[in-house]
Amino acid sequence: MSTTIVTQRQPAISEQKSNMIQIIRAFAIIAVALIHDCPPDEWQVYSRPFVNFAVAMFLFLSGYLTRDEHRDWKKFYFNRISRVLIPYIIWSLLYSIIMVKDASKLPFVLLTTTAYFHLYYVFVYIQFVLLTPLMLWLAKSKYRALGWLVTPVSIIAYMWYCHNMGQSPDVYVSIFWRDCCFGWFVFYYLGLMLGNKLIDCRLSMKTLIILYLISMPLQMAEGYVLWKIGAEDFGGQLKLTAVISSMIAVLIAYKVLENGYVDIRNKYLRLLGDYSFGIYLSHLLIRIVLNHVPYYTSIFYPLNSIILVSISLCFCYYGNKFLGKKVSRLLGLK
pLDDT of residue 15: 83
pLDDT of residue 6: 37
pLDDT of residue 240: 96
Query: Whole-angstrom distance between the N-terminal and C-terminal Cα of the chain?
Result: 35
pLDDT of residue 168: 74
pLDDT of residue 5: 36
114 φ/ψ angles, rounded to the nearest 5 degrees: -100, 10
pLDDT of residue 1: 43
What does the longest C-alpha to C-alpha distance in the chain come to? 60
| Distance, CA of 94 to CA of 100 (rounded, Å) | 10
Per-residue exposure over 204-240, b if at least 16 CB sit within 10 Å of its own CB, e if not: eeeebeebbeebeebbbebbbebbeeebebbbbbbbe
Q: Which of 331, 248, 327 is nearest to 285 (CA)?
A: 331
pTM of this structure: 0.94
> Where does the pLDDT of residue 260 fall: very low under 50, low under 70, confident under 90, or very high at 90 and above?
confident
Mean pLDDT of 221-233: 91
Of 65-74, 204-213, 284-293, the least confident: 65-74
Q: Does residue 323 have a pLDDT over 80?
A: yes
pLDDT of residue 142: 96
Render pLDDT for 142-196 as a digit per residue (tens, 0 to 9).
Answer: 999 999 999 999 999 999 998 888 767 888 999 999 999 999 999 999 999 999 9
Q: Is 2 helix (H, G, I), strand (E, B) or coil?
A: strand
Q: Does residue 8 have a pLDDT over 70?
A: no
What residues have CB less than 8 Å from 169, skipping those under 6 apart? 158, 161, 162, 177, 232
Exposure of 145 by Cβ count < 10 A (0-12 exposed, 13-18 middle, 19+ buried)? exposed
| Distance, CA of 39 to CA of 42 (rounded, Å) | 8
Render pLDDT for 117-142 as a digit per residue (tens, 0 to 9).
Answer: 999 999 999 999 999 999 999 999 99
pLDDT of residue 13: 78
- Per domain, the residue ranges of the chain are 15-264
Q: Does residue 102 have a pLDDT over 80?
A: no
